[in-house]
């Protein structure tokens, strides 16, 4: 019981002291500044002056620039002087073609064009005659006092005949144009397919000697010494305004040149619901092996000679930003600041701090 009385006495004493303190504070004594916790006294940072910027980073691989060899029309394979992986020079023959049937094929196309033109002329003349007969019949109906409904139906038939004739003529012209194009391309080609550059044959779609080689891409040659990097697409406007861009390969920096899309190319990619990619060329003289891992770095929003602090030294309330400065006496003082650019755990200070000042961080 005595112990309980002692504890009650201590509690009453503490409450009396608290009441007395409240009275004293209310009598005009200075109220100490209530500082929020900002870490230990050792958690100090210094206001710095230097560079700030953003970066766009893409991981990718070094690949060769490739030139493609295309076959127009068809051809008979007469020889295959190169194989996949061979080194070639510009003008070297990749595929030999048999040209013995070229002249006969062209004569056949000429004959087909002549026959089709004659058939088209005959069919169009018949269609014109049917239209003229319909117009005469409508005139006779009008002269005989036919009703408006009958005349309207006859006019509709004549209009359909005219539309059908026009559609047929358009299709006929298209077919003749295709034949002319086939003739210009040689029909069955006898000209050999050659390498467009010095480099390495990295693709070869042929067959065996004597096989017919169909139209399309036949070979691909990696341009000697060329090196491309393909990564995430960065808009041309961003690249134009960027402070710099470069590639990091095996820890070494390499200068690069971007290869932008034309607006037509971007429209086609968007139409096909595809995703564009960024293409960059390693500048001449870069000694890098194909297949090497690369990182493309685009530096944007670059600012030099700015004052900045770590973001863990910045505080904010509803309408302002502030810091806690360590003054000459070692005291902690609140100071309002204005901020600008923010990046990578750092904040630009546009007003309120000077380089070298010491702050308390969180």
Please enumerate in sequence order all residues whose Cβ is within 8 A of that of 293, keeping only pairs 6 or more positions apart, or say none: 59, 60, 61, 62, 249, 250
Fold designation for 39-61+228-259+291-362: 2.40.420
State the chain's mean pLDDT as an integer: 83
Average pLDDT over residues 221-237: 86
Residue 337: exposure state from Cβ atoms within 10 A (0-12, 13-18, ≥19): buried
Query: In the structure encoding, which two tokens stand for residue 197, read together?
Result: 């550059």
Asked whether the predicted pLDDT for residue 187 surpasses 80, the reply is no
Please give the Cα distance from 248 to 268 (Å, whole number). Answer: 31
pLDDT band at 189 (very low <50, low <70, confident <90, very high): low
- What is the model's pLDDT at position 37? 57
Asked whether the beta carbons of 242 and 26 are under 8 A apart, the reply is no
Asked whether the predicted pLDDT for residue 177 surpasses 90, the reply is no
Q: Are strands 346-351 and 293-310 parallel, antiparallel or unpaired?
A: antiparallel
Residue 162: phi, psi to the nearest 5?
-65, -45
- What is the model's pLDDT at position 325? 95
Asked whether the beta carbons of 97 and 77 are under 8 A apart, the reply is yes
Q: Are strands 44-46 and 199-204 parallel, antiparallel or unpaired?
A: unpaired
- What is the model's pLDDT at position 27? 45
Please give the Cα distance from 179 to 188 (Å, whole number). Answer: 13
pLDDT band at 121 (very low <50, low <70, confident <90, very high): very high
Give residue-wise pLDDT tens across range 313-361.
Answer: 999 998 899 999 998 888 899 999 999 988 878 999 999 999 999 999 9
- For residue 279, what are the β-bridge partners? 230
- What is the model's pLDDT at position 348? 95
């Amino acid at each position: 019981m005595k112990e309980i009385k002692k504890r009650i006495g201590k509690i009453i004493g503490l409450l009396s002291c608290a009441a007395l303190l409240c009275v004293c504070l209310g009598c005009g004594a200075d109220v100490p500044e209530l500082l929020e916790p900002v870490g230990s006294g050792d958690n100090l940072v210094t206001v710095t002056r230097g560079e700030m910027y953003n970066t766009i980073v893409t991981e990718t691989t070094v690949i060769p620039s490739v030139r493609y060899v295309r076959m127009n029309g068809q051809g008979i394979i007469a020889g295959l002087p190169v194989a996949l992986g061979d080194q070639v020079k510009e003008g070297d023959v990749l595929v030999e073609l048999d040209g013995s049937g070229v002249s006969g094929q062209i004569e056949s196309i000429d004959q087909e064009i002549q026959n089709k033109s004659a058939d088209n002329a005959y069919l169009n003349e018949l269609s014109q005659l049917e239209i003229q007969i319909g117009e005469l019949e409508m005139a006779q109906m009008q002269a005989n006092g036919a009703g408006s409904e009958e005349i309207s139906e006859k006019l509709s038939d004549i209009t359909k005949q005219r539309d059908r004739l026009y559609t047929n003529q358009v299709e006929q012209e298209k077919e003749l144009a295709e034949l002319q194009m086939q003739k210009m391309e040689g029909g069955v080609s006898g000209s050999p397919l050659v390498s467009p550059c010095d480099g390495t044959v990295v693709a070869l779609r042929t067959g065996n000697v004597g096989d017919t080689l169909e139209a399309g891409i036949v070979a691909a040659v990696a341009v000697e010494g060329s090196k491309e990097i393909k990564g995430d697409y960065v808009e041309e406007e961003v690249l134009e305004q960027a402070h710099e861009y470069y590639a990091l390969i095996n820890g070494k920096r390499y200068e690069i040149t971007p290869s932008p899309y034309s607006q037509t190319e971007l429209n086609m990619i968007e139409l096909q619901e595809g995703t564009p990619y960024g293409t960059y060329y390693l500048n001449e003289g870069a000694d890098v092996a194909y297949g090497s891992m690369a990182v493309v770095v685009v530096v944007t929003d670059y600012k030099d000679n700015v004052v900045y602090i770590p973001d863990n030294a910045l505080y904010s309330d509803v309408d302002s930003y502030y810091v806690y400065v360590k003054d000459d006496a070692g005291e902690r003082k609140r100071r309002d600041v204005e901020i600008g650019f923010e990046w990578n755990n750092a904040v630009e200070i546009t007003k309120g701090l000077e380089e070298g000042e010491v702050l308390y961080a969180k």
